[in-house]
């Protein structure tokens, strides 16, 4: 079995390549290299892309309809939607580490992430669904209700 990095360099079909983003696909499986982050989880990739790509970036036009949701792990995208590495490392806003509260977020928002992925035809549809249904005020209201904020 080859490592993902070797796969990204060789056997997969390139879908999009730029300085900050490489998207490849084999069958129904996606592979994303976004800056230093690598993932094959479509929802996680979109949440990371939301931090890196401009809203008018052509990568958002990539079609993803009929995506297999087998590789979707909602907690990964929720990690980024709730603040990402910097927030969960420093705990500037939350009073507990990610490992202690990710199940609360997943229980509340996990099915919404799957629904957004299923209903989306392009990466921009996923992004827009996250912005509409999983934006920071919604996430913070939930975190406040669970006493997760300082």
Percent of the chain with pLDDT over 70: 92
What pLDDT, on a 0 to 100 scale, did the predictor assign at position 149? 95
What pLDDT, on a 0 to 100 scale, did the predictor assign at position 1? 35
Number of independent structural domains in the chain: 1
Domain membership flag for residue 82: yes
- The residue that leads in pLDDT, 71 or 122, is 122
Q: Which backbone phi and psi does 33 adopt, to 5 degrees?
A: -125, 110
Q: What angle do CA 12, 17, 21 make, to 5 degrees?
A: 105
Domain membership flag for residue 68: yes
Domain membership flag for residue 43: yes
Radius of gyration of the chain (CA): 16
User: Across 35-104, where does the E strand assignment appear?
Assistant: 37-39
Domain membership flag for residue 20: yes
What pLDDT, on a 0 to 100 scale, did the predictor assign at position 22? 94
The distance of Cα 107 from the centroid of its chain, to the nearest Å, equals 17
96-141 pLDDT, tens digit per residue, is 999 999 999 999 999 999 999 999 999 999 999 999 999 999 999 9
Domain membership flag for residue 115: yes
Q: Among 139, 146, 85, which residue's Cα sits nearest to residue 112?
A: 139
Domain membership flag for residue 150: no
Cβ–Cβ under 8 Å, residues 109 and 134: yes
For 18, the domain range is 4-145
Mean pLDDT of 71-84: 96
Neighbour tally for 5: CB within 10 Å: 11
Q: In the chain, what is the straight-line distance between the N-terminal and C-terminal CA atoms, in Å? A: 45
Whether the pLDDT of residue 4 is over 70: the answer is no
What pLDDT, on a 0 to 100 scale, did the predictor assign at position 132? 98
Domain membership flag for residue 78: yes
């Amino acid at each position: 079995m080859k490592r993902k990095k070797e796969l990204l360099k060789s056997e997969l079909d390139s879908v999009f390549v730029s300085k900050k983003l490489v998207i490849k696909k084999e069958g129904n499986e996606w592979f994303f290299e976004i800056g230093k982050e690598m993932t094959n989880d479509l929802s996680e990739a979109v949440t990371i892309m939301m931090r890196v790509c401009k809203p008018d970036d052509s990568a958002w036009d990539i079609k993803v309809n009929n995506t297999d949701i087998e590789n979707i792990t909602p907690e990964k995208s929720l990690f980024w939607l709730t603040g990402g590495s910097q927030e969960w490392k420093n705990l500037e806003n939350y009073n507990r580490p990610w490992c202690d509260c990710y199940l609360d977020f997943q229980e509340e928002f996990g099915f919404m992430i799957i629904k957004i992925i299923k209903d989306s035809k392009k990466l921009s549809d996923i992004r827009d669904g996250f912005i509409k249904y999983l934006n920071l005020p919604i996430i913070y209201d939930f975190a406040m209700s669970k006493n997760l904020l300082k």
